[in-house]
Structure 1
Amino acid sequence: MENEIKSHYSYSEVIIWLEKKGIELYGNHFKIIETDYPIVYKLIAYFLKDEPTCFQYGINLDKGILLSGPIGCGKTSLMNLMKYLTATEHKFYVKPCRDISFEFIQDGYQIIHKYSIGKLYHSEPRTYCFDDLGTENNLKYFGNECNVMAEIILSRYDLFISKKLKTHITTNLSATEIETHYGNRVRSRLREMVNLIAFEKTVQDKR
């Protein structure tokens, strides 16, 4: 099915374009390898809002994307490239979870608001891609331990229900590991909030 996508977009041309963009951003060694095409096609279909193809893949355009796969398989660079396929009104910001945890150490609980409800000076909550979920640690702020990303995901879930706010995530954690790190409430909310697109565990490290 991968090779015969019935679509008004030429996916092979989109991949060539994405590779050029990748070389601009990451240097001449950047390449989208053929074994990753099934994953990349799904991402292209989603970010171009290609409804018939998303339907073929069972992708729900009202949800975000959770891109999972082993370290070094190229999740972050792919999501950064997808920003260039995304229509202005669906633009998203890629934010490493580690950076959010450092901001939390510095600024405390307002960081949870910043990445969910939005700061006072943002008129609307933003669409984020939280990069590398699971690399941040539980942090103490004035002695209180806080699982920052769990709190942010739960807050964004409420906005997903009330305002259709989308959240994208990259992670090398499995669903079970997500539950261990963040609790079953987060895992079940994520199931409602995102489409899971997963690299094989055996995929080669591209670094």
Structure 2
Amino acid sequence: MTDPCKIKEGNTEYSLGAYDGTHLLYDFKKVLHYLHAKGQLLFGPGFKIYEDDKEIIYKLVNYFIREEANCKKLHLDMNKGLLLTGPVGCGKTSLMKLLRHIVPHQKSYELIPCRNIAFEFNHLGYKVIQDYGNQGFYCFDDLGVEPQGRYYGQDCNVMGEILISRYELFEKHGIRTHITTNLNADELEERYGNRVRSRMRRMFNLVSFHATSKDKRR
């Protein structure tokens, strides 16, 4: 196995910590340095790591690198997925696109906007729910902004049905799902119902940006 703590971007090699052939020891400052550089490559030179966000990034980094002791202290269950919440523009989607790059030796997830899934349903029907209720590894982005699904005159809460399918995969096979959303717990329950909300409590670690987090897109 090559050193998973070393990541090459173009002609530059970044070290995220130390690897002795068996154990990984990550250095959070080095991880932040890499995230800043990779973020600028992905999102442009205006990308930066905000001081106010370092606490939440620390939580997410420990989850992604599967640092068991720190995850326990941070009340994160490594067997569950992430439910990343926060106001519009706080950086949820960017972080979920970015953080998977610090663990290239792990299986990555596909990040899919929930709006796209609803539009797929309107075109292809219930096959879409079956497709996303499979054993793939997904991050569903912007849960709650998607329109109601409608196929041949029948309305369907598409993401609600997919989440129930994902719950069954989680219970039977331990397959995780990640989500980003602007909605709080009450709004999620209002949109998807108590049945889905109760399953989400079992499936996800709730990680929240502060309600006053700034909109980075302005």
Q: How high is the TM-score relative to the length of structure 1?
A: 0.91
Matched position secondary structure for 1:183: helix
Root-mean-square deviation (Å) = 1.2
Shift of 1:89: 4.2
Correspondence list, 1:46-195, <5 A: 46-117=63-134, 125-195=135-205
Of 9, 18, 39, 2:56 maps to 39
Between structure 1 and structure 2, the one with the greater Rg is 2
Partner in structure 1 of residue 16 of structure 2: none
Shift of 1:9: 1.7
Matched position secondary structure for 2:32: helix
Question: How many residues end up aligned between the 2 structures?
Answer: 194
1:17 aligns with 2:31: no
Matched position secondary structure for 2:25: coil
Partner in structure 1 of residue 10 of structure 2: none
Change (3 A) 1:132 1:68: same
Matched position secondary structure for 1:135: coil
RCO higher in structure (CA 8 A, sep ≥6): 1
CA deviation map 1:50-87 (0-9, x unaligned): 11111110100000000000000000000000121235
Q: How high is the TM-score relative to the length of structure 2?
A: 0.87
Q: Separation in 1 of the partners of 2:147 and 2:29?
A: 40
One-letter amino acid of the structure 2 residue matched with residue 194 of structure 1: F
Q: Separation in 2 of the partners of 1:55 and 1:85?
A: 20
Q: Separation in 2 of the partners of 1:48 and 1:166?
A: 15
One-letter amino acid of the structure 2 residue matched with residue 149 of structure 1: M
Partner in structure 1 of residue 20 of structure 2: none
More moved, 86-95 vs 55-64: 86-95
CA deviation map 1:104-148 (0-9, x unaligned): 11100000011112xxxxxxx111000000010112111110000
Runs of 4+ displaced beyond 6 Å: none
Q: Separation in 2 of the partners of 1:109 and 1:137?
A: 16
Higher helix share: 1
Higher strand share: 2
CA contact (8 A) 2:63 2:78 kept: yes
One-letter amino acid of the structure 2 residue matched with residue 83 of structure 1: R
CA contact (8 A) 2:31 2:102 kept: no
Change (3 A) 1:23 1:87: closer
CA deviation map 1:85-107 (0-9, x unaligned): 23544311100000101111110
Matched position secondary structure for 2:140: strand
One-letter amino acid of the structure 2 residue matched with residue 193 of structure 1: M
